[in-house]
Amino acid sequence: MPVFACRFGESRAPQRISSSRGNLAMTSPMPLPGAMPAPPYPAPPGAWLRSPAALGRATAVLLGVVIAADLFACYADLLEIDVTGDIADGATGSDVVDRADRADTLYGVAGISQGVALLATMVVYLCWLWRVRVNAEVFDASRHRMKRGWTIGGWFCPIVNLWFPRRIVADCWDASAPWNERTGHTPLINAWWTVWLVNLFVGRFADTSSRKAETAEELRQAAKTMLVSDALDIAAAVLAVVVVVRLTRRQERKVLAGPPPVPALG
């Protein structure tokens, strides 16, 4: 299943208790806004330098919205764990019913919030990634192991979406390195992608557990797993913000540095 579709399509089965839920799995404003200077580099066909600053800023803001939605979801998870735990322990009465209804409502609102935040972030993030990929080709077309079309398609094709997006970001990072710096992408990219993948699998497991749960204790365990998934999603979003910020700044600085230095003769 495509990575983005996998997260967006997750649903939390009724905890007697219904809701559908999606998570995402990713900048401060650049100090130099506006279009980049004319490229001093030999650009491949159909590629030219354009500033990624505005898109990077928008991506970071939307990732912040994702984090806020996940925090709200964590609160809903905790309410769900609390009330299902009381029901599993034999608690009854109108107070328990009212708490269960409130938990159900918040659970559903959390799922909708996460889905909307994910969809908006996905669109803007992919626009940003396309922009930095084109810029990176202008810097050094030889650094890219994947064709440009995989910048978008790599997220949605089953199986390959487990590593193609990371490879594309890593290639962009390497191609955007300063002229006097050894290439080699930062461990930051590996950390971001690892947390994102773990989150995907934990989220799918939590969703399956919710759908199959029949008793209050099973519902509580499913909510606990979903809480872990939402916490991982927050971590992945935070790391994604850092990747977006640093890669955007990296490209701006390389353009301002001008063409590669000419070695001295003699």
How far apart are alpha carbons 114 and 199 in whole angstroms? 14
What pLDDT, on a 0 to 100 scale, did the predictor assign at position 193?
A: 96
Nearest CA among 52, 3, 6 for reference residue 29 = 52
Residue 242: what residue type?
A: V
pLDDT in tens, 120-142: 999 999 999 999 999 999 888 87
Whether 265 is covered by a domain: the verdict is no
Whether 135 is covered by a domain: the verdict is yes
Whether 129 is covered by a domain: the verdict is yes
Confidence (pTM) = 0.80
Matching residue, tokens 């890669």:
247
pLDDT in tens, 29-82: 333 334 444 444 555 665 678 889 999 999 999 999 999 999 999 999 999 999
Matching residue, tokens 């208790």:
17
Whether 136 is covered by a domain: the verdict is yes
Whether 178 is covered by a domain: the verdict is yes
The two three-digit tokens of residue 1, written as one number? 């299943």
Whether 78 is covered by a domain: the verdict is yes
pLDDT in tens, 252-264: 888 887 666 655 4
Whether 26 is covered by a domain: the verdict is no
Domain count, the chain: 1
How far apart are alpha carbons 62 and 81 in whole angstroms? 28
Nearest CA among 98, 96, 103 for reference residue 81 = 103
Whether 36 is covered by a domain: the verdict is no
How far apart are alpha carbons 105 and 141 in whole angstroms? 51
How far apart are alpha carbons 118 and 170 in whole angstroms? 23
* Residues 188-211, mean pLDDT to the nearest whole number: 93
**DSSP β-ladder status, 11-12 and 19-20:** antiparallel
pLDDT in tens, 211-222: 888 888 888 999
12, with CB counted inside 10 A (0-12, 13-18, 19+), is buried
CB 195 within 8 A of CB 239: yes
How far apart are alpha carbons 36 and 52 in whole angstroms? 9
How far apart are alpha carbons 152 and 149 in whole angstroms? 6
Domain encompassing residue 232: 3-10+47-256
The secondary structure of residue 181, as a DSSP letter, is: S
